[in-house]
Amino acid sequence: MGKPIEDVFDIVNDINREKAGNIVADVIKTKTIRELDNQTQLIARDGNARPIEDSAAPIIDENGEVFGVVVVFRDYTEKKQKLDQIQFLSYHDQLTGLYNRRFYEEELRRMDT
């Protein structure tokens, strides 16, 4: 208790490794439930990064004032691995691992725009 939330846990963006915003401060300010995007990782004390889904909800007293925040982290390592595998298989040939026709068609459309 009494520590800044940034000292309690370290959350970074999965892509650019920048620190995620302070979800607790956002909840206190807006008095609403907040969720971070699915591209966040929780950095453990041992330095390992784990993909997470998280949400935070205000604890509101009888006067309508926020006096706390509940933060929930869900480790979604397995889910992310399966989603990554599905995405890989949707653009690669299962036998050779090379890009498939769908990949090339989407790349051509992307280059045309």
Of the candidates 61, 63, 55, which has an alpha carbon nearest to the alpha carbon of residue 11? 55
Query: How, if at all, do strands 34-35 and 49-60 pair?
Result: antiparallel
- In the chain, the largest separation of any two C-alpha atoms, in whole Å, equals 64
Segment 34-63, tens digit of pLDDT: 987 778 899 888 888 899 988 999 999 999
| Residue 32 DSSP symbol | S
pTM of the model: 0.66
Residue ranges, the chain, pLDDT below 70: 1
Give the pLDDT score at 1: 62
- Would you say 92 and 100 are in contact if contact means Cβ atoms under 8 Å apart? yes
Domains and CATH numbers, the chain: 1-75 (3.30.450.20), 76-113 (no CATH)
Question: Tokens 């004390």 label which residue?
Answer: 45
